[in-house]
Chain A
Amino acid sequence: MIRSTHLPLIVTLLTFVLAYALCASQYPTMLSWRVVANLLTDNAFLGIVAVGMTFVILSGGIDLSVGSVIAFTGVFLAVILRDTSLHPLTAFALVLVITTAFGAAMGATIHYLDMPAFIVTLAGMFLARGAAYVLSTDSVSITHEFYDVLQSMYWKTASGGRFRLIGFVMVLTFIVGALVAHRTRFGQNVYALGGGAGAARLMGVPVASTTIGIYAVSGGLAGLSGIVFSLYTSAGYSLATVGVELDAIAAVVIGGTLLTGGYGFVAGSFFGILIMGLIQTYIVFDGTLSSWWTKIVIGGLLFAFILLQKGLTWASTARKKAATGFIAQS
């Protein structure tokens, strides 16, 4: 039996398959490993941050700071590698600690001050972007042999597609994210918060540590995404990745997660990312379409999925009423 909670995920999958089939029927070359590999590489940073965003949204929250945190991470790495002799791995560890702590601090603020996530992460967004500006307002390029090593790690298919390291990092993040969300206690607590913070508290869910954990995960993954982004661009720039939080939110919703929390799957966000990447690839292949169509189509998809979720909510309320007679009848 297909549960209604699975339906958005299935619709996302079908949308992806259909969109890909449509693209491929028009441009058969899009059906190549090269395109698939690029899809993964180009969207790696967005995918990683979308995993964190999925956790946040599942819990009924929102994290507007991730775009700024990515930019901060890039600038931080660039400046550290330029001005000190730290090994990139040490710098990676350092920046992950900083961004995770930053996320945790936002989570703590949300929980202990009892304020909407929206406004707290807005402050976080300003803070992280401001910190990036303060470090450097110019684009700082990264030249380190270790970066070259990492960038040259890829697995080449026969047809010339290059699956790069950062693509693997994204896929791995999704796998780990899915396991944590669906198979651990922390994951169940995240869903519990999304189902209703009040009820979750009464049921003994550790609301404080879960909230802090969720935003720490989101912050940490934004940091990881920043590392990946700096590998992707070989530079750190404080004006980079403006608005990425919106893309991540859009990907999560297109992936079938209910924006108000409680329902959704990490795997859905993966296909959400791929759908968005596919639209961009299609526009590149077409050549005549302008880039702004990306935004309009994504907006349209967002709308379609919001309507779908709304329809399902209505349907399930109607169904529950019908089930009221359960005890008496069975």
Chain B
Amino acid sequence: MTNDSLPMLHATGISKFFPGTIALDDVDLTLHRGEIHALLGENGAGKSTLIKCLTGVYRRDGGAIMLDGQTVDPTSTNHSQSLGIGTVYQEVNLLPNLTVAENLYLGRQPMRGPFVARRAMNEAARTSLKGFGIDIDPAQPLSTYSVAVQQVVAIARAVEMSGKVLILDEPTASLDLDEVKLLFSVIRQLKSRGIAIVFITHFLDQVFDLCDRATVLRNGQVVGSRVLKDVSQRDIVTLMLGRQLDTAPSAAKSAAVGAPLLQIESLGKSGMLDPFSLTIRKGEVVGLAGLLGSGRTETSKLVFGAVRADSGTMKLNGKDISVTSPRDAVAHGFALCPEDRKTEGIIGDLSVRDNIVLALQARQGWLRPIPRRKVDEIAEHYVRTLDIRLANLDVPIRLLSGGNQQKALLARWLATDPDVLILDEPTRGIDIGAHAEIIALIGRLQQDGMALLVASSEMEELVAYANRVIVLRDRKQVGELVGADITSVNIIKAIAAETRHEALQ
């Protein structure tokens, strides 16, 4: 490890317990001045917990923090901010009911006597935001602006408050390419000012593009710290997983597809998704590709009836069906694993067993409970075939890792023996081991004759399993790739074709 100057932040032996879990176990982290430091690890490795301990959101249960040579003990975000540690979290953590200026200056408003000097505050906010490339009325409530603007406001706030350390927890997750570029230029500018920056992300490309060094966490422990220009992506992935990654994910893609199963005719909802038509055959995987917000998730939700379409018809096996709610969809043999597992997928406090049988039980109705023995049989069957790793079936599902949660959700739907399986980002935020297993499973299901509609942002994944890829842009279908045409390059071409790229002002 290089130690040319006194580190800006030096944390040693950080530990944190939760009831039933040791979230952080003796973790060390060193940040130098003017360094962009990536904090990497699978979901649940302890990245967020570490950040929360450093910023005083959680009280750490052990360990010491040195900031700029001084021992510090942040007891709250307020305290850590005043010490010089600023944070921007994954979701925009601002207050939609306050104005932009109030959000920017909350807790440090310019005062006139006992009162907040509003006009001065609005002026300062306008000037500050201009420096970040946006020109908006700071006296308007934050909720009137888009997520991207809100994210920039959050970063502006953290930058202005933190003199020493800036922590960015997945700040790029909901930004498009241009916004990411803008953000990176801001981060580099801050680096040149000598601020130590922690950057957390799932995108390894961004890590190598931006960062100087990376610390990798696994199961609440540090497994290594590397200077990035000396190592390859593969080295980092190996560190994260603790084993060599198999070569690119692949699924045995069978070319033979069956008869048309689901015919969608100009299904759409104004303001959400332009009407589109699509036919899915038995034993076919149709991929949905596009940038964030292009209409991938919207498509899957409309087909499943989670959002009610205002136009269009659907035919299943040649017969007209009406799907106005997920309930209807399930009755017709549809299944959907949503993108946001935590808020739309799992029932966190219920046991894995109950989570697995939930959809089947809901379809049977409350009057016909599934007998306990049958429940155990179903649950154990899927735990075995999908290799869900857990202590026992009574464990609340929220305690499982992301990959195992996703497998349990797949089990929930496979138990209903669906004809049409819709997967929205089936591999998002799960470890690479489970990742490969899920891709293999998609291949198996396809061979068994199931029709699958899979929305994904991972091109390689789509290439691996899709028979056909629908490309979406601006809430519209803009292209279709079939068979050998399905390559990452072609998908990107289709997405990028005539894309307007206005930068932020």
Contact = CB atoms under 8 A, between A and B. Distances in A.
Given A319-B144, A327-B149, A203 B106 contact: yes
Contact of A203 (B77, B118, B146, B271): B77
Given A183-B115, A320-B144, A188 B76 contact: no
A194 B97 contact: yes
A204 B98 contact: no
A196 interface: yes
B115 A199 contact: no
B116 A184 contact: yes
Q: Is the interface of A mostly helix, strand, loop or mixed?
A: helix
B364 interface: no
Contact of B505 (A5, A263, A330): A330
A201 interface: yes
A144 B145 CA distance: 60
B266 interface: no
Nearest to A183: B115
B134 interface: yes
- Range for the number of chain B residues in contact with chain A: 35 or more
B98 to A, nearest CB: 6
Interface string A209-232: 000000000000000000000000
A184 to B, nearest CB: 6
B78 interface: yes
Given A185-B116, A188-B98, A322-B271, A202 B57 contact: yes
Contacts of A203: 77, 93-95, 103, 106-107, 157
A320 B106 contact: no
Contacts of B149: 326-327
A194 B118 CA distance: 20
A149 interface: no
Interface string A187-205: 0110110111011111111
A191 B78 contact: no
Contact of A202 (B89, B96, B134, B500): B89
B109 A199 contact: no
A200 to B, nearest CB: 7
A316 B89 CA distance: 24
A179 interface: yes
Nearest to B103: A203
Contacts of B111: 185
A327 B97 contact: no
A204 B179 CA distance: 26
B98 A327 contact: no
Interface in A312-330: 316, 318-330
Interface in B106-127: 106-107, 109, 111, 114-116, 118
A206 B102 contact: no
Given A191-B95, A329-B502, 5 more contacts: A189-B107, A203-B157, A320-B144, A323-B146, A326-B149
22 contacts: A179-B115, A183-B118, A188-B106, A188-B109, A189-B107, A191-B95, A192-B95, A199-B95, A202-B93, A203-B93, A203-B95, A204-B81, A205-B78, A205-B107, A320-B144, A320-B146, A321-B271, A323-B144, A326-B146, A327-B149, A329-B502, A330-B135
Interface of B: 57, 76-78, 81, 87, 89, 93-98, 102-103, 106-107, 109, 111, 114-116, 118, 134-135, 140-141, 143-149, 157, 161, 179, 271, 293, 500, 502, 504-505
